[in-house]
Chain A
Amino acid sequence: MPKPNHHIFADGELSRNEGTLRIDTLEGKTEYLPIESVDSLYLHGQLDFNTRALGLLNEHNVPLHVFGWKDYYRGTYLPKRGQVSGNTVVEQVRAYDDPARRLRIGQSIIEASIHNMRGNIRYYDGRRGKFSNTVTKLEELKQSVSTTTDINELRSVEGNARKKYYECFDQILRDPFTLTRREYNPPTNEANAGISFLNGMVYTTCVSAIRKTALDPTIGFVHEPGERRFTLSLDIADIFKPILADRLLFRLVNRQQLSINDFEDELNGCLLNENGRMIVLEEFEEMLDETIDHPRLNRKVSFKTLVQTDVYSLKKHILTDEPYHATARWW
């Protein structure tokens, strides 16, 4: 089991103390975080910290994901790598720069992504509506991935799949939740707000996993480098969003663990409120620890490990040309 993440909601100060991380909250509480037993640190509150605190995160390879006002994702502080592998980055750039190799990796990612969307729709087919047409359509789109000849064509297949996929959300989600259509920046209603928040968590999970390899997070294959975020994380996140974000949102809404009151309207947008964010995060962290049997590894692995092994597989593919097994739901 990988180490757990830690989330700080309190406002206050982070500092380095006796070789570990000290949290002094504005409410007057002091806590010590066991720095060697934390995977990634998430800041949701208003926190002051200095370079000594960052140095500690550096020494222990702990990425810091910072969320700002209303928990909008602000960015990540990635510890500098102890051992840089120039060779890995060179091969990654070569793979990106070779249209055939890039397309092959992109196809694996999108195939897995569509496969995982289809898995969700098939699960809810008959439970929350009749979706057999969409299941078939997604299967066709998945099949057509291998016939795409360039990245733009691949991206349009992915876009079509995502559109079909999102069209089912209104039926899957228990009333009064409706998606209508996927809108972000800012999200326009509760369902969009939930998806955006969870997608952010999937994205940061991927950033942390990529950090454990020597791969460069800024060089993606489906997404163009130059988009503002880490494009490799966006690529890997596309594989896992149906598994880790959408499926969880469906569950939380349909079991009424999350209600419309856990959101608040903002200037032309909608966001989870603090209570809602806590509910979602607790469930998300718990889900990362859930385990499934892994046929290739012949043992039980957690969802968090699954993200990690996906990135290892991509890394190995880039360096050895052995097949990349993008994670396609088998369970």
Chain B
Amino acid sequence: MNPPAMHLAELNIAHLRAPIDSAELAEFVALLEPINAVADAAPGFVWRLKESEVDPTATVVHDYGDHLLINFSVWESLETLWNYAYRSEHLAVLRRRREWFLRMMEPYMVLWWVPAGHIPTLAEGMRRLERLRSEGPGPEAFTFKDSYDSSEAVSLPAAAEARK
């Protein structure tokens, strides 16, 4: 049997310096629409969590604290996500992160493989980030710097669980 095709899920959280509707964050909020448009049109983009289909500036509402901004998406491969994050207009926005977000000592971004077609839940993403923080990178929760390819994830119980 062929292993299932795998996609890459990515979750990152950022600690806002000020409330999202404050003047300090206004420039960032103004950048949301154009940058999300770059993501949606990027090669390899599969899905991202949107709060609203009509308001492109609406950020994801969640239960993990209002000071946390959440980005959650699925991509066809490590390379396509990397090219979007670091080889598109997104890089210049990332470079300004200190203007809007506090520096975090713990990992704030996690990657893991999901079977193609499966959309993970935000709760699963937060669990993966916790796992990365507590146990370090592994095939079930990793980073760009210590990445694992999808073949190493296919046989894991976590992938099987996600397929249910």
Question: Is B a genuine binding partner of A?
Answer: no
What is A's interface to B at a CB cutoff of 8 Å? none
